[in-house]
Amino acid sequence: MGAAAVITYDEALRRVLAGVDQLPATDIDLGHADGAVLAEAVTAREAVPPFDASAMDGYAVRSADLHTLPVQLDVVAVSSAGHPSPRSIGAGQAARILTGAATVQGADCVVRVEDTDGGAQVVEIRRGSAAGANIRRAGEGARPGDVLISAGTVLNPAHLGIAAGTGLATLRCVTAPRVAVVATGDELAGPEVQLQPGQIHESNGVVISRLAARMGCAVTTTRAGDDVDSLRRTLLDLATIHDVVITTGGVSMGGEYDAMRAAVTGWPVEFWKVAIAPAKPFAFGHLGSGADGAVLFGLPGNPVAAVVAFELFVRPAVRKLQGVTPHVTPTRSGIAGASLPDRGDERICFLRVRRDERGHWVSTGPGGTHLLGGIAEAQALAVIRPGQPTIGPGDEVELLPLWL
């Protein structure tokens, strides 16, 4: 197998997105749907709000009685939330009413309690209200059948409240992508063990698993050595019960020491050098002999490069599996608080940056990409494109947010 082809970020992303399709839908309990992706629009089952209700604590009255102020009205009824008044009011009468309570037959507006003497039997109205004042109309938020939440929405707590408010206990969501994360490499040791020479404690699997879990994926995490046959079996086993397999490590060399390349022989997997920094080496394809196998993402073993590759390729692909558009997280714009170094080569550079006290963006420091400290502290990746002028303090900078 020859050296990996160098391709642009845009081309790599295009091929990745072409290789994944939206997953089917399933019903999820409202209590477990935070962060899930809606597969079918939620429509209003009743009017929102379901009835005309008072927007204030006060008195339901007839506006015709308020021409001369102050005026005293007989309080003949009460409407509180959950207890609508069975009684209507007539001329010269009022009903005590509370916020959210149904309006009272015969009344056409609500006077706030602050604009009265608060009387219990007789109330003195001191400030007028026009017909319709302080009343929330049934259906002013939505009529039955109106779309309340669109398909493809990543649900937040307020969306769940909207769904609950229209009486739903479950939501039709996209099935959570089943993701296996496999950290590969003979040098990897688990926690709480004494390291042997040349060993390191595994960390990539921990980081990448949590990034996938934060996107709403159902994640399993494992570790594999560099024995080719064993790695191949592990990948194939995981492929049978996962939609996506993400490996870290073993994609850089293309030589006899590259376990990943050997393990996927004969399967439709491409090895690229993408023109980005960090995270140049990357593998993408499907596990097994057909293109219908689980999707494989081969991330580099360098910890920072693995995070960057996840953000640039795995996140958009998962968003496509989930039916979220746009698949690619839009970049934002910020102001640099200091010069941001560029590499001066043909690669798009993703620099770890954080917000300073003034809200401007600065590098998290010169730490190598094998160290997670700088990216843990970062709140975004600054996107620095080849050929663009060097970014100095006060200049605009393109940002890809982290830890979404």
Residues from 91 through 150 that contact a second copy (CB under 8 A)? 96, 98-102, 113, 118, 136, 140-142, 148-149
Residues 160-170: b if buried by 16+ CB within 10 A, e if exposed: bebbebbebee
Both tokens of 122, joined, read 């007789």
For a second copy, which stretch binds (CB under 8 A), given 13-21, 61-69, 74-82, 342-350?
74-82
Measured CA angle at 387 (ends 382, 390), to 5 deg: 55
Instruction: Decide whether 246 or 293 has the Cβ nearer to a second copy.
Output: 246
Q: Does 5 bind a second copy (CB under 8 A)?
A: no
For a second copy, which stretch binds (CB under 8 A), given 4-12, 121-129, 190-198, 288-296?
190-198
At its nearest, how many Å lie between a second copy and the CB of residue 160? 5
Q: Nearest CA to 178 among 322, 280, 41? A: 322
Q: What amino acid is encoded at 395 in this protein?
A: D
CA distance linking residue 303 with residue 274, whole number of Å: 17
Instruction: Decide whether 225 or 341 has the Cβ nearer to a second copy.
Output: 225
Q: Does 49 bind a second copy (CB under 8 A)?
A: yes
In Å, the largest CA–CA distance within the chain is 96
Member of 76, 181, 188, 277 binding a second copy (CB under 8 A): 188
Q: Nearest CA to 273 among 246, 297, 252, 257? A: 252
Q: What does the DSSP assignment read for 115-158?
A: GB---SSEEEE-S---TTTTEEPTTSSB-TT-EEE-TT-B--HH
Instruction: Decide whether 218 or 253 has the Cβ nearer to a second copy.
Output: 253
Q: Does 397 bind a second copy (CB under 8 A)?
A: no
At its nearest, how many Å lie between a second copy and the CB of residue 290? 32
What 3-state class would DSSP assign to 299? Answer: strand
Member of 109, 375, 391, 397 binding a second copy (CB under 8 A): 375
At its nearest, how many Å lie between a second copy and the CB of residue 274? 16
How many Cα atoms are found within 13 Å in the side-chain-facing hemisphere of 384? 24
Rg (CA), the chain: 30
Q: Does 204 bind a second copy (CB under 8 A)?
A: yes
Per CB under 8 A, contacts with a second copy among 147-176 are 148-149, 156-162, 164-169
Instruction: Decide whether 50 or 341 has the Cβ nearer to a second copy.
Output: 50
Member of 8, 26, 41, 50 binding a second copy (CB under 8 A): 50
Instruction: Decide whether 49 or 70 has the Cβ nearer to a second copy.
Output: 49
Per CB under 8 A, contacts with a second copy among 259-288 are none
